[in-house]
Chain A
């Protein structure tokens, strides 16, 4: 088991890393003065091509390994590191203008320099608009779902309409919400409420229907009341559905809040930052704001997955790895 891994480390990763470091060290020596023109020297291009080949080879070797669940994510991580490396090196060597594509180091620097600004944006967009809108929209969807559970007529009417809303660009209500609720976060939260309500409604209804006939008849034979059946059988059965709606809604909420800010916002917020700094060609900060949004989305998703593991540990989709 150890042998292929060791072979990868010594024969694959090590040469690629050494070559990458060597090429990076060569760069200041070989590169002409910035703006001097003449293009990158051939020697450097050959060296980088060598690194490229070695990097591809070591990713392939790692991808071919079997025997540990960690190899998969490790391959993805290694691939990501190489992408960052070639992004950084390529942008420097080919003198790509910062407006087009800032180097990862510049993005990291601007994340660090503008940490206070981005922190305020995070509070404004994520902690206010997204979190409140997501919680409110999901709670409303759940409440309405449970409320109309006993009204088949309403269900038959509401379900087709609710599933049609997924094809409609709901974000477009943002300008109306801005008119009604003002520029600050309540208008964004309102957009998020609208976007998250319907997925949760549909999932809650589907989840409540998902309890098996056998189990329902068992509850019936126990003379269990509607509420007892709801609490002990049908709601627990609906948890996986509700959790997956919460996960979908987390992404939707982020998109909704950020796009709603494109339509008008106070001078703070991730969407505002992205659109105004893009207009000012300050791309490093735009990428910084996007990193914040991306990390927020992934972390929220990961947290919800952990919550799902805890609450729906019995469900086949969670038990099966």
Chain B
């Protein structure tokens, strides 16, 4: 289904604060993931910026407000603004999250995203209906991303998350954007084996992988819990999980996400080098400084499909 999509390599998420550095490093960044909603919010003021990025980078589009899991139906008002934007950007694919946007329509409700959904077959059917509308109207390949979550909704008849994701994707032409950092942090917070999770997930649908580094909360009622802050180097454990996935799926792209606490550009580019090597099937991964020792319970495979 996604065989015809090109292998994009190792990419970086666009951050306005890093604009000059990113453009200057265009020869070392295989592709750029452009944040849909940042640009929708800033256009037309950022028209020239958008043209500059489109001219200098192979790009994909990533959003947060598509609300694909909303049982009240697809967000057509959002789609009306999204479709022409994507047609002008011409990304290789566009993506959003497996969340819902059934929220109060006040300013806070409109701001929030990433709300967990129950992992039920009824919820999966809602995703399929909404994804089909978005996919048909936009006319580009669509990927959906697994969430970092702080809450599991214990609905009767719930599936495991990876089985739920398979249920969402089965029978559709939508691909998986596998956020390995989200999986890793969820496994720490909810005490499950990420390799078991991967063994149940539809890895064959993986098109793009996200990696990042989170932080452990040190105070407050959630002390000890991990947050998906995108503020740290990618931990070794995440790279090992990525290696596991790449050995089992025709992954087209690995994206490094860094949204705050920016290091020197050289450090981000060094992470892209690691991503590129992993995507190329390199067996050993350099050790980073941000690692806790945690051996995988399932051996990492080396056979790449």
**A interacts with B:** no
